[in-house]
């Protein structure tokens, strides 16, 4: 028989080193997976870990993918550190994209560059509104934020589908379910000519710095974490657990909505049914691989974007299915959870059940 026994003192080194170990195990399992599928493991690893960084253009595309993952993960870190389990960032991302797209569609030839600010604000407010529904139901009726936020993802997808199949459908789009391409004035400013990397990357990095200051250098950040983790202690200290709930969900929803706005007014340039790309779910992995720390999430967002790009290249170059991206993401999360479990517990071998009765 096997049982898990709590360790008296978990390893401080492995508390931070387990994400790297999980990555190594994921790569090892990936090699076995490539071999089982009859593919060259070396080519498979090159596609995932070398091709996304081999040229300046590839690095730019890597940053394009990493930007929404980082922005969403930063918001989720506030939730998870507050013991609020927002699993519906994907829905908040979609609603943010819809709201931002609605503002972008208002632009015409006489519109100035100020509309970019309105587009970003619309995305943030849309995400906050969608997360606010979860906060309201949890606050007033003690509904599970896990279930509510997750179910709202599917409602958000329906809202997007209604708009692109209905009132916002491009009349000159050959009956495709999509809006017209947004005017150039609505484009999120890019950092470099010839690259798709936008100021969203700068916003994400500045957000990481701001989150670090908030969590570790302010009284409000301390109160935020205590209010979620220990409501009774928070009340005794004069902190509000209710405020922690609303703050966590509104910040998280706003970040996801911001990512949606940056995406549709940036690389995509219009609304389509394919706006939901799974960033909201992948950002959960980014947050935990990054140890809910801003610096760690910067690196884990880059790693997760490599999985996205590697998965796309694996389809075209190796003939692998689209699901290979999700497989690697799931493997990374599973191995990280396994490593974290073994950090806190040790495996003990015991005698057969009932042996003590003889």
| Joined tokens for residue 292 | 């809910």
9 has pLDDT over 90: no
Per-residue pLDDT at 234: 77
| pLDDT one-digit tens code per residue, 216-236 | 999 999 989 887 777 777 777
pLDDT one-digit tens code per residue, 16-40 = 889 999 999 999 999 999 999 999 9
pTM for the model: 0.93
Residue 176's pLDDT is what? 94
Q: In this predicted structure, what is the pLDDT of residue 236?
A: 76
If one counts every other C-beta atom within 10 angstroms of the C-beta of residue 129, the result is 17
Statement: residue 354 has pLDDT above 80: no
Q: How far is CA 307 from CA 28, 48, 68, 316, in A?
A: 15, 6, 14, 14
- Tens-place pLDDT, residues 143-163: 999 999 999 999 999 999 999
In whole numbers, what is the pLDDT of the chain averaged over residues?
92
pLDDT in tens, 236-291: 777 888 899 999 999 999 999 999 999 999 999 999 999 999 999 999 999 999 99
Examine the pLDDT at 68 and tell me if it is beyond 70: yes
- Between the alpha carbon of residue 233 and those of residues 81, 167, 225, 248, the distances in Å are 16, 51, 11, 18
Distance CA 246, CA 139 (A): 8
Domain extent listing, the chain: 1-39+320-358, 65-288
SS (H, E, C) 252-272: HHHHHHHHHHHHHHHHHCCCC
What percentage of the chain has pLDDT greater than the value 90?
77
pLDDT band at 353 (very low <50, low <70, confident <90, very high): low
Give the number of residues written for the chain.
Answer: 358
Close Cβ partners of 186 (under 8 Å, ≥ 6 residues apart): 104, 107, 111, 115, 116, 119, 265
Note the pLDDT tens digit of each residue in 75-125. 999 999 999 999 999 999 999 999 999 999 999 988 999 999 999 999 999
Q: What is the mean pLDDT of residues 197-209?
A: 97
Looking at residue 351, what is its pLDDT? Answer: 63
Percent of the chain at pLDDT > 70 equals 98
Tell me how far CA of residue 29 lies from CA of 6, 36, 113, 288, in angstroms.
28, 10, 49, 20
pLDDT at residue number 28:
95
Q: In the predicted model, what is the mean pLDDT of residues 324-330?
A: 90
Rounded (10°) angle between helices 12-36 and 294-318 = 10
Neighbouring residues of 279: CB distance < 8 A, sequence distance ≥ 6: 68, 69, 72, 89, 90, 93, 259, 263
Annotate 92-158 with DSSP letters as a single string.
HHHHHHHHHHHHHTT--TT--TTHHHHHHHHHHHHHHHHHHHHHHHHHHH---HHHHHHHHHHHHHH
Give the pLDDT score at 355: 52
So what's the pLDDT on residue 344? 86
- Give the confidence band of 214 by pLDDT, cuts at 50, 70, 90: very high
């Amino acid at each position: 028989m096997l049982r898990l026994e709590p360790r008296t003192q978990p390893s401080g080194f492995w508390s931070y080193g387990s994400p790297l170990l999980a990555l190594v195990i994921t790569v090892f399992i990936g090699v076995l997976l490539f071999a089982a599928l009859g593919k060259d493991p070396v080519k498979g690893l090159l596609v995932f870990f070398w091709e996304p960084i081999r040229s300046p253009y590839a690095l730019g595309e890597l940053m394009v993918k990493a930007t929404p993952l980082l922005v969403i993960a930063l918001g989720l870190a506030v939730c998870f550190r507050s013991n609020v389990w927002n699993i519906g960032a994907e829905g908040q991302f979609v609603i943010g994209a819809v709201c931002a797209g609605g503002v972008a569609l208002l632009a015409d030839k006489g519109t100035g560059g100020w509309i970019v600010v309105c587009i970003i604000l619309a995305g943030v407010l849309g995400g906050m509104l969608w997360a606010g529904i979860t906060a309201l139901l949890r606050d007033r009726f003690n509904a599970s934020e896990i279930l509510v936020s997750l179910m709202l993802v599917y409602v958000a997808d329906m809202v997007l589908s209604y708009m692109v199949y209905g009132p916002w459908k491009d009349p000159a789009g050959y009956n495709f379910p999509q809006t017209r391409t947004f005017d150039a004035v609505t484009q999120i400013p890019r950092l470099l000519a010839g690259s798709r990397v936008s100021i969203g990357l700068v916003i994400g990095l500045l957000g990481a710095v701001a989150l670090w200051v908030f969590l570790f250098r302010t009284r409000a950040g301390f109160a935020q974490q205590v209010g979620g983790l220990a409501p009774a202690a928070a009340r005794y200290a004069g902190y509000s657990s209710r405020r922690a709930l609303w703050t966590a969900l509104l910040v998280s929803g706003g970040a996801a909505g911001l990512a949606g706005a940056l995406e549709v007014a940036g690389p995509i340039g219009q609304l389509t049914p394919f706006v939901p790309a799974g960033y909201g779910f992948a950002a959960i992995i980014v947050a935990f691989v990054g140890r809910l720390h801003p610096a760690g999430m910067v690196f884990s967002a880059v790693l997760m974007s490599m999985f996205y790009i590697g998965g796309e290249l694996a389809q075209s170059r190796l003939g692998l299915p689209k699901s290979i991206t999700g497989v690697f993401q799931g493997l990374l999360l599973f191995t990280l959870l396994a490593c974290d479990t073994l950090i806190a517990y040790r495996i003990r071998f015991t005698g057969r059940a009932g042996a003590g009765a003889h």
